[in-house]
Homo-oligomer: A and B are copies of this chain.
Amino acid sequence: MIGGRRPLQGRKAGDRRVRVERPHAPYFRYAGPNQLIAREAASVPRTARGRALARFRQIVFGRPLANEEEIGERLSKRKALAIFSSDAISSSAYATEEILRVLVLAGASALFFAIHVSIAIALLLAVVAVSYRQVCRAYPNGGGAYVVARTNLAPIFGLIAAASLLIDYVMTVSVSTASAIAQIQSVFPVAYDFRIEIAFVSIALITVANLRGLRESGNIFAVPTYLFVGLALAIVAIGAFRIATGTANQVPLEHDVVPLGTEAFGVLLLLKAFAGGSVALTGVEAIANGVPAFKPPESKNAADTMTVMAVLLAILFVGLTVFAVAFGLQPTQEGGPSIVALAARTAFGEGSPLFYAFAASTALILFLAANTSFNAFPRLAAILAEDSYMPRQFAFRGDRLAYSWGIVLLAGVAFLLLWAFGGDTHALIPLYSVGVFLCFTLSQIGMVKHWLRGHESGWRWRLAVNAAGGILTGIVLAIVVSEKFAAGAYLVVILVPVLVGMMLFISRQYGRSKRQLAVDPAHIVSAPKREERIVVPIHGVDRATIQAVNVGRSIDDDVRAVHISDDPEDAARVRKTFERQIPGVPLVVVDSPYRALAGPLLAYLDVLDAAWPPGKLEPITFVVIPEYVASSWWERLLYNQSAKSLRKALLGRPHTVVVNVPYRREDQEASSPPRAPEAENEADTAAEG
């Protein structure tokens, strides 16, 4: 055997063939000895079908992006606001209603207190927002509550936060899609019959947009968010003007409203209303989870965006609540218009273009609330995967720098949830708050510990803010859990530990195999002393067999072929042909009266091992298996069934290595390298010289 290393550079001068002169040029840039940088061409598929598929992928998802293009994919504050706050801002579309629906139980006079409740929630929002501004600055790599709790409290609290966030993100996608469809349905009742199809299409569109990457999804999603914000602000402004001018009259009731109740008005009811309205805070944490998606300076931009979002949300939420109280809007019976729809009608007049524009933008921002999860879930999953708490694939970024696995998993689970609930996921809405407030509480407590350790400038008032926030969100959490436990919150209480358990399990798996695979850094590997032995299972004498035997012989001379057969006559024929045509290689024929293939081969290898002289180090056994190169699914059915089962059986065997020798029909398309991009060849001549 000749061989020896052949360095890439240093070809003999005067060779006239350009390709051989600088063979790496089409695929790689030369960056130093044994150091190459792959061009885009290196990843172009080799077959015509593969290239066609890649072209299709590029049309749908866009051209592949290099790592260095990542910075160009970062978000401006304007786009980030649209991407990360559609979930939070969209909650102003239903939070007021949640308050009114509780207060209405205590009669008309209680409705007035909605204003107080909404202001209390806005204050809580301010505390949470200030706290998350600090998280943005302290933890610029993102991860939000997970990282804060893991770093400051203990890993287990980080995992609890992560699990509840992951669950929340999935529910957000299902619930906001279902709400958007309900919104459409109130205009076009026929939409009800196609709700699963509409859900599928809208989730698929959001998935594709997110697989295309951040910046583009920002472009797509900015318009409806700003449209909703603008129109909702207009409603609030009109309301304020009419209240100021004393023209805020009670709107006549045109729909069946929820009948006024006679419950006692008291602290308990106010707390309930507070817990119901606190759904307005869901989605607030998204920005802190996604700091690395911002343009530099990341932390500052994220914190600023957080402030803008909190202010907008507070104005919309409190404004719409005041509007509803001032105009005497009341929650309607099932099927009737929502409070925001009534407000829009009151402000713009029924049937006016602005009314319809607002209805449409409400539906759209509810669809887009799902998009917040599509940004937050994959990022959190990637951070968890990097910390070995989720399968590694979640940390891989696809062609467009998006975390493809997380995006696809989220889309799949959310759609399944919608499908399982028949498109009506209303029952899930209260469950949100559990996960969100769990995270709020954990991250506030974490921040308290952060300030206790850090003592940065102003740490005293920061600590006070976080402590107050932690206590408040903790109280809300307690209320939400106790209020909604039977209604479904118990599901979260069950699911969170299950997810945490899974993540701990995965982490232990990875940790164990990492320890087991670790090598002493002082250990210097010398050339191996093991002997080899080659076994070639054959089914007859053909080109594939000959190729496999030849590959075996080029590894070592100790080659034997094994023919396992359930037909002794056929076996005798095979032996005759083999011994005549492939002389010098012993053939062992194993009669297998039970028609098994893998079992007798494994047993034969055991026999070889047992026959090895005792005391001598066992050799490596190379089992050479011809494998047909299937070019389609039906070929996979027609060929390789035996090769596959042998491979599977042998992979479990110590000191055994499986060598797959591919064979193909000659009429199949050979895998040819794609044509080289000529243009770039000049660029790196200098680097190479």
Could you list which residues of chain A lie within 8 angstroms of chain B, going by C-beta atoms? 1-8, 11, 17, 19-20, 23-24, 27-28, 31, 34-38, 40-47, 64-68, 391-393, 396-399, 506, 509-510, 512-514, 516-519, 521, 523-525, 527-528, 530-533, 541-544, 546, 549-551, 553-558, 560, 564, 566, 577, 580-584, 586-596, 599-600, 602-604, 606-608, 610-612, 614, 619-620, 622, 627-629, 635, 637-639, 641, 647, 651-654, 656-663, 665-667, 670-671, 673
Contact = CB atoms under 8 A, between A and B. Distances in A.
B660 A657 contact: yes
Given A27-B603, A607-B23, A638 B670 contact: no
Contacts of A671: 652-654
Contacts of A599: 38, 42-45
Nearest to A650: B662
Count identical subunits in the complex: 2
A525 B550 contact: yes
A49 B275 CA distance: 51
Given A11-B611, A589-B35, A653-B671, A546 B525 contact: yes
Given A607-B24, A671-B652, A595 B67 contact: yes
Contacts of A528: 550-551, 553-554
A199 B580 CA distance: 56
Q: Which 4 interchain pairs have the tightest Cβ spacing?
A: A3-B558, A43-B599, A23-B610, A27-B603
Given A606-B27, A629-B651, A551 B519 contact: no
B6 A591 contact: no
Contacts of A595: 67, 396-399
Given A42-B600, A600-B43, A602-B46, A660 B647 contact: yes
Contacts of A606: 23, 27, 673
Given A638-B391, A638-B509, A657 B5 contact: no
A44 B544 CA distance: 29
Given A589-B34, A596-B43, A641-B393, A5 B558 contact: yes
Contact of A542 (B518, B587, B647): B518
Contacts of A67: 566, 593-595
A658 B656 contact: no
A251 B586 CA distance: 82
A556 to B, nearest CB: 5
22 contacts: A1-B557, A6-B608, A7-B586, A8-B588, A23-B611, A27-B606, A36-B589, A36-B591, A38-B596, A40-B594, A42-B599, A66-B594, A398-B595, A399-B594, A512-B665, A519-B541, A519-B543, A521-B577, A532-B555, A629-B652, A647-B660, A657-B660
Given A27-B604, A46-B652, A530-B550, 9 more contacts: A6-B608, A23-B610, A36-B589, A38-B590, A38-B591, A525-B546, A527-B584, A528-B551, A658-B662
Nearest to A510: B638
A382 to B, nearest CB: 13
A23 to B, nearest CB: 3
Contacts of A620: 551, 554
A559 to B, nearest CB: 8
Contacts of A659: 622, 657-660
A603 to B, nearest CB: 4
Q: Of residues A36, A398, A612, A619, which shows the largest number of chain B Cβ atoms within 10 Å of its Cβ?
A: A36
A330 to B, nearest CB: 46
A516 B641 contact: no
Contacts of A637: 391
Contact of A531 (B1, B27, B512, B516): B1
Contacts of A656: 662
B582 A28 contact: no
B581 A519 contact: yes
Contacts of A4: 557-558
A552 B482 CA distance: 63
